[in-house]
Amino acid sequence: MRYFRKKFAAFPVYEWLEIGILLCLTGGFLDAYTYVTRGGVFANAQTGNLILLAIGLAGGNGLAALRYLVPVLLFFAGVFLSELFLRLGRKTRSDFRGHGVVLISEICVLVAVGFLPASVPDMLVNALVSFAAAVQFDNFRRLEGKPFATAFCTGNLRAATEHVFRGAVEKEKDAWRTACKYLVVILAFLAGVVAGYFASRALGGYAALLAAAVLLIVLALILSGYAVRKRRIRIHRLTADDVPAAQALIWESFSRFVAPAFDAEGVENFRRFLYDVSLSEEHEFYGVFAGGMLKAALVAKKDGTHIAAFFTKNGEQRRGYGGRLMRWYLANAGADEVTVRASPSGAPAYARLGFTATDGETRRDGMVFVPMQYKKSNQKENEYGK
């Protein structure tokens, strides 16, 4: 249970390694399925189909070569429609409505394909499978915070090699672990190819139903994750098990919104502080959870006098998580005065929470910040004066 609690705190279910493994298994399976049962066409790797199209045209095969264009066009249509599904999920702020609808549509297509008779033209079947592969490929593009692909291995192999380099040469923390995750999903894709080959030879067209069954498992996992996320919001001091997720959240948000204003020295100073602070006895981590997922994190001195870091998870801004965490912390902080070094872009948000600037924009140790302070006594006076 501790393992899954940490996963829920760090990533949405549709980014989990376990989900990536199942999706890559399905991706490899579908490529083998169409290649074995439907005329040697790949459902996922459209580069291969484009090459076969160009070779066929160059060889004078004419209309026969155009069959490779059909899955390419349906892949294009699948990506286009999947973007509509993603937009629906973003508007409704629902993981399930975005990724769940995609999976349901893909499962329906594969079930239909599985029951199509052998007399149905290969061109139509390959087009339908390419459509299903496209919506899956476009909607599932991150593996525990890192980009990846479920439909082919080239990008995953490049990313694995990059992280092996970072671990071996640059001695970067967690690089080896990330490289292993990429290698696992590559092996899952290859396992899917092998399974698809034997299943297609044994079951023929019905083998597509096996791929649909795997996706049904993925759908159930995402649905359960969506149900968990709808539970009440919790705010508390983080345990040692939660700290790595908070550090990853803070670093990702810092890198996107704050680091561009710092020079290299400032970025390195912040990174060193963030990853060494967990070893310190002077600071504590706090977080706000929605459905078991960490949405915002705050690092502060144990005596409650200074906030060292405060960030909301990328993509979760303007949903109230950061404000709830900060208000909870200020209400429970032991000190009357709480200071913070706010980034210039974040200073207005602190001001809305009751902080006031004590000096102008300052640059120190490569970092740019606005010194700010929160006084509980002032807030009480303002309340009584209303």
- What are the start-end ranges of the E strands in the chain? 142-143, 146-147, 233-237, 283-290, 293-301, 306-312, 337-342, 356-357, 362-364, 367-375
pLDDT at 99: 77
pLDDT at 98: 66
CB atoms within 10 A of CB 335: 16
Check if the beta carbon of residue 7 is closer than 8 Å to that of residue 35. Answer: no
Residue type, 174: D
User: How far apart are alpha carbons 386 and 151 in whole angstroms?
Assistant: 60
pLDDT tens digits for range 209-233: 999 999 999 999 888 877 766 666 7
CB atoms within 10 A of CB 156: 25
First and final C-alpha spacing in the chain: 48
Share the mean pLDDT of the chain: 85
Check if the beta carbon of residue 130 is closer than 8 Å to that of residue 71. Answer: yes
pLDDT tens digits for range 35-77: 898 877 777 767 777 887 888 888 877 777 777 777 778 778 8
Which portions of the chain are predicted below pLDDT 70? Answer: 1-2, 5-6, 8-10, 45, 85-98, 228-232, 278-280, 291, 378-386
Half-sphere exposure of 234 (CA within 13 A, CB side): 13
pLDDT at 359: 92
As a whole number of Å, the CA-based R_g of the chain is 25
pLDDT at 12: 78
Quick one: CA dihedral 66, 70, 71, 75, positive or negative? positive
pLDDT at 59: 82
Question: What length is written for the chain?
Answer: 386
- Helix, strand or coil for residue 240? coil
| CA 162 to mean position of chain CA atoms | 19
Q: List, in sequence order, the alpha helices (H) in 277-375.
A: 321-332, 347-352
Q: Which two tokens stand for residue 261?
A: 């204003």
